[in-house]
Structure 1
């Protein structure tokens, strides 16, 4: 077994395992219904044909890859053993366990309390939170059902829906006014959600409670579906507008990190 030390902080890298992972990624990128030849895999992974063939043969022996055809016409694809492993991986995932260390880091970074919520019916339900430890605390409770139109968590989840889906939801729950800043017009809310999608985070600027702001960003799982949202909450106390943007980027980046740990491999915003 060949082992080499990495320079990115990981102690050891097993080259053969790394090569197998790269080959699986190449097979996963193939057009559905069209397998890859040994030459295709070798080119995609920067391997010799003999190394590519040996790796593919080993993966086939474990059901992680499969082949069809003979000779020059042989093509390789992902094996069905991966489907079984994928199901087991999902069964072992806990959103709370995955998100908790990222939330803790976000609270340390921002100095604000952070929360995790999942969609339940028309609301966002808080399932975990990390306190900032300050003496003066905003009342945040587990199991709280956040309104969809005036909270950071709720708007982050709403922004993951299409306009017709948002209209249908609002038809059921309405747009109750919580403060003078609450958006109570559906067209204004739809336009606001377009801004949320563009930015990658939602700002509740005293829309749910006077003097309190909340910034939320949605989470996505391995299928790309929305699986929840995270947020930070704090007192306004003359907070400058540029600070909201900075916090928004930090919350969005934390959400992207959690999404990546859930298996999401989609595009990320960089601005």
Structure 2
């Protein structure tokens, strides 16, 4: 959830510039200025500061994000020793099922994937760092089902229920009914709600104190993904992870 308090306009502008460079996958100074409705001189000053801090780099006439962001991201996703425990078990589960297995946590009301295990070298790690809305992803719904209604409402107030496919949940009442079903059966489902042709089964991973560490999900095309096959394997893996975390 957003922090309340004084926000520095200068810092916010620099971060908006970073977002634009990321979204455009590289941008000229004039493109950034037009996108943010800023003067070229203002954008130039911010880009100079970011470049001096090695956060952006210039190639020809375009600015790109620096590799330093990768280094910072790696530190973030390894900051908790529990994450490495999950990654190891996720890798083993992916090998057993021959399906993609992702570990997601929540930040600022969205799910973000920090580990993505896949037997296909071309796809491995492709999802890492991607943010997803929580109402239409298996990982998100698994975590929402563990939260209080007040906390879920905070997420909905900030992000709403954007539709990404015709299967996306579109009403608050429908979402709460789905979360109740998730709690009853012990796992969440994404039935092509975020992407056509992709189904996922997810389960929350809880800490010894009952708080949610994150969620693990298995994804693949609906014709190949069977709940009967996936759920027992996923459940056993989550149990092993939670036991190992508790025994640390």
TM category, shorter: 0.5 to 0.7
Query: Is 1:106 the equivalent of 2:68?
Result: no
Instruction: Pick one of 163, 173, 179 that aligns with 2:159.
Output: 173
Which residue of 1 is the match for residue 241 of structure 2?
Answer: 258
How far the C-alpha of 1:254 sits from its partner, in A, is: 1.4
Which residue of 1 is the match for residue 183 of structure 2?
Answer: 197
How far does the alpha carbon of each residue in 1:16-72 deviate from its partner, in whole angstroms, 9 at most, with x for none? xxxxxxxxxxxxxxxxxxxxxxxxxxxxxxxxxxxxxxxxxxxxxxxxxxxxxxxxx
How far the C-alpha of 1:123 sits from its partner, in A, is: 0.9
How far does the alpha carbon of each residue in 1:104-132 deviate from its partner, in whole angstroms, 9 at most, with x for none? 12112211011111111101111112112
> Could you tell me how far apart the structure 1 residues matched to 2:200 and 2:128 are?
16
Contact residue 220 and residue 262 of structure 1 kept, 8 A: no
How far does the alpha carbon of each residue in 1:145-204 deviate from its partner, in whole angstroms, 9 at most, with x for none? 121000011111111112232123212110000101001111011010011112221110
How far the C-alpha of 1:139 sits from its partner, in A, is: 8.6
**Structure 1 segment 32-181 matched on structure 2, within 5 A:** 94-133=81-120, 137=123, 140-181=126-167
Which residues of structure 1 form unaligned runs of 5+?
1-91, 265-271
Higher Cα radius of gyration: 1
How far does the alpha carbon of each residue in 1:212-262 deviate from its partner, in whole angstroms, 9 at most, with x for none? 0111111111211111111111122x347xx22431232222122111111
| Secondary structure, counterpart of 1:262 in structure 2 | helix
TM-score (norm 2): 0.63
Contact residue 98 and residue 118 of structure 2 kept, 8 A: no
How far the C-alpha of 1:138 sits from its partner, in A, is: 9.1
**Number of corresponding residues:** 169
TM-score (norm 1): 0.58
Q: Which ranges of 4 or more aligned residues in structure 1 deviate by more than 4 Å?
A: none
